[in-house]
Every structure is written in structure tokens, then in C-alpha cells.
Amino acid sequence: MKILAGIARELIGLFVDDGMLAVALIAVIVIAAIVASLTPGTTAGVVILAGSLFVLFANVMAVPR
Amino acid sequence: MTWAIYAPAVSAAFLASLVEAIEALTIVLAVATVRGWRPAGLGAAAGLASLALIVAVLGPLLDRVPLQLLQLVIGVLLLLFGMRWLRKAILRAAGVIPLHDEAAAFAAGTAELREHRSRLDWLAGLASFKAVLLEGLEVVFIVIAVGAGRGLFLPASAGALGACGLVAIAGFILHRPLARVPENALKFAVGVMLSAFGVFWTGEGLGVAWPGADLAIVGFAGLFLLVAALAAVAVRRPVGAAP
């Protein structure tokens, strides 16, 4: 059981290392999904791209040095 | 199909698999050094067999998932996965966190196994099994992710198998961890590529018609590379400062 729990923890860890980064990315995707449902075209794509780049930069800059 | 999407898919699968295979090899070698090749080999073989079973059982189910939903799910997971790698690679490149050291990981692995000398060999085999299974699952995910939706499973699989074969042969010949591979540079490149794929697939899943179609991935990769490089420079720790 302990081994299975360890494997499950490591599997989640494949995608989530820093909780804030994961939450921010999910928020960007949710906003993009809302935009996509309201305005067809490339606007949602711009939201995903610009949002992901901003989240990455902001997250790295927020790391204590 | 254009070369613009074919080449990044194959190279992303190859480079990412190279990193994962090196990490798995380090643990298998640590087990082999302390406990011998029998438990290390058996554990690794059991890990590979489990992986093959997972792929055989779950692989056909992918065909039943609607393409747009598959693209969205894979895109979101790729974004999470790729950005996690990229963030860590940026922080390592900037000296904020220490570089991953395969020689140190090997030393730690052998020291831990030596502490449990009285235990049965199957525990050592289990360490080898877990390493191959977990790192292998990452390889499988990457192959599915970069191959999804464009019929690129075969080239992506070939890239991944080529990397795993290369590392296995090198490990078999050298009998020590591949410490000289520039792992952080590889992770940086793979993080950029996976994040670019993640943005592309998430957009496709949401019905976005990307300008330039598949070629957009190359542009996304360029933007991620630029922002990541800027972030690495911006957070760079002064030389001599403690990590």
C-alpha cells in the first residue's frame, strides 16, 4: 500500500511540482476556454500563449533568492 | 504532414526519453553495483513488462476518445509537464537550485542500498523496478502527448526507443552513470518544446485555428525559449552566492 501511495504521489509529481504554477496555468486555460466559447477565432489562443508565458516568467521571478 | 511538426515531435520524444532513461539507468546501475546484476536486471525487466502491459491495455482506448477532447487533455497535461521542466531548468541554469548530478544520485542510491544489506534482494529489485516503471511512464506519456492527434505515434515511439536503446547500450558498456550528459540543457530544450506543444494542443482542443497551422509550434517554441532565457538571466544568482 505504501509503495502504491508512493507511486501515485510520484505520478502526480510528474505534472505538479510547484502548486502555484499549476494553479495559475489551470486558471489561464479556464479563462481561454471561456474566451473560446464567447469569441471564435484566435483570441483564446492568444490568451493561452500570452498567459502561459506570463505565468512562467512571474513564477520564476517569485522564487526566493 | 509537414516537417515542421514531424521534427519537433521526434526530437522532443528523443531528448525527453534520453533524460528519463539516464535517470532510470542511474538507479539500475546503483542496484547492480551493490546487489549484483540479477536483482537489477529482474527489476528492470519487470518494470519494462509492466510498462508494455499498461501500453497494451490503455493504448487502444485512446482511439475511442474524441480527438478534440484528447487534444485538450493532452495539451493541458503537456503544458503542466513542460512548464514544470522548464521552470526547474531555468532555476538550475540561473544557479538558484543546484544542477541535477547523476554521479551524486548514484552515490546516494548505492549508500542507501548498502544501509539495508541485511534485507532481501527483492527490495533492491523493487528499486530497479520502480525506477524503470516511473521513468518509463514519463516516456510513454511524452510519446502519447507529442504523437496525439497527428498520427505521429510511430515516429515519436521511434525517437523514444532510440534514446532508451542508446542509453542502455552506453550504460552496458560504461557500467557507470552517464554524468557528462548536459542534462539541464536537455531539460531546458525539452521543456521549451513540450510547452510549445502544450499551447498548440490546448488551443486545438478549444477550437482555436492557429495562424500557420502546425508551423505555429515553431513560433511558440521560439517565444518560450526567449522568455525562459530572459527569466534565467533575470533571476541569475551572483557568482559565489550560496544556492
Separation CA B110–CA B177 (nearest Å): 12
pLDDT of residue B28: 86
Q: Are B139 and B21 in contact (CB under 8 A)?
A: yes
Tally the residues of chain A. 65
Question: Are A65 and B237 inside 8 Å of each other by CB?
Answer: yes
Task: Say how far apart CA B139 and CA B19 lie, in whole Å.
Answer: 9
Q: Residue B220 in contact with residue B196, Cβ under 8 Å?
A: yes
B34-89 pLDDT per residue, tens: 777 788 888 889 988 988 888 888 777 777 778 788 888 888 988 998 899 899 99
| Max avg pLDDT among B71-80, B112-121, B216-225 | B216-225
Q: Which residues of A touch B76 (CB under 8 A)?
A: 26, 29
Q: Beta strands of A1-65 (E only): which ranges?
A: none
Is residue B241 within 8 Å of B98, Cβ to Cβ? no
Check pLDDT > 90 for residue B10. Answer: no
The runs of H, that is alpha helices, within chain B are 3-35, 37-58, 67-93, 102-115, 121-147, 153-174, 183-205, 216-234
B131: contact with A, CB 8 A cutoff: no
Q: How confident is the model at residue A25 (pLDDT cuts 50, 70, 90)?
A: very high
Interface contact flag, A11 B134, Cβ < 8 Å: yes
Classified as helix, coil or strand, A39 is coil
Answer for the pair B27, B128: CB distance below 8 angstroms, yes or no: yes
- Closest residue, chain A, to B222 (C-alpha): A53
pTM: 0.76
B126 contact residues in A (CB cutoff 8 A): 3
Look at B122 and A42; give whichever has higher pLDDT.
A42
Chain B residue closest in CA terms to A3: B130
C-alpha cell at A12: 502526480
Range B171-199 burial, b when 16+ CB lie within 10 A, else e: beeeeebbeeeebbebbbbbbbbbbbbbb
Residue with cell 520502480: B130
Q: Name the packing angle between helices B67-93 and A43-61 (round to 10°).
A: 30
pLDDT digits (tens, 9 = 90+) for B149-176: 667 778 888 888 888 888 888 877 877 6
